[in-house]
Amino acid sequence: MGSFQKEATVVDWDDKERGNRVGDGSPNQGLKFGCTVCKHYVRRSWSELAPLSIARLFARDLARRLRCTRCGKREGYVMTWAWGPGD
Ligand SMILES: [Zn+2]
């Protein structure tokens, strides 16, 4: 599990820096979207995300678009990472 993971990059909705474009970098197999309020999160692979055309967005800009499906807050974060076969 852990040995397959690269360092994850987390960008919050209120970060001062906008981060990288979420489609940049490899290996970057997908994105994790989370809520800083209730800790709810989902992960999506790039094959699932492709129809959304979000790869060129900066991480913080994307985080600001998120609305939590559990608690309804708009205080999300975006994590770009690669996860391994055991994760
Ligand atoms: Zn939430």
Q: Residues 41-54: pLDDT tens digits? A: 999 988 899 899 99
Q: What value does the mean pLDDT of the chain take?
A: 85
Q: What is the pTM of this model?
A: 0.81
Would the pLDDT of 4 be above 50?
no
Whether the CB-CB separation of 34 and 79 falls below 8 Å is answered with yes
User: pLDDT tier at 3 (50, 70, 90 boundaries)?
Assistant: very low
Instruction: Tell me, in angstroms, the distance from the centre of ligand 1 to residue 42's CA.
Output: 11
Amino acid at 42: V
Q: Where are the domains of the chain?
A: 2-81
Expressed in angstroms and rounded, the spacing between residue 14 Cα and the centre of ligand 1 is 15
Structure tokens at 29: 């197999």
Per-residue three-class SS string for 28-82: CCEEEEEECCCCCEEEEEHHHHHHHCCCCCEHHHHHHHCCCCCCCCCCEEEEEEC
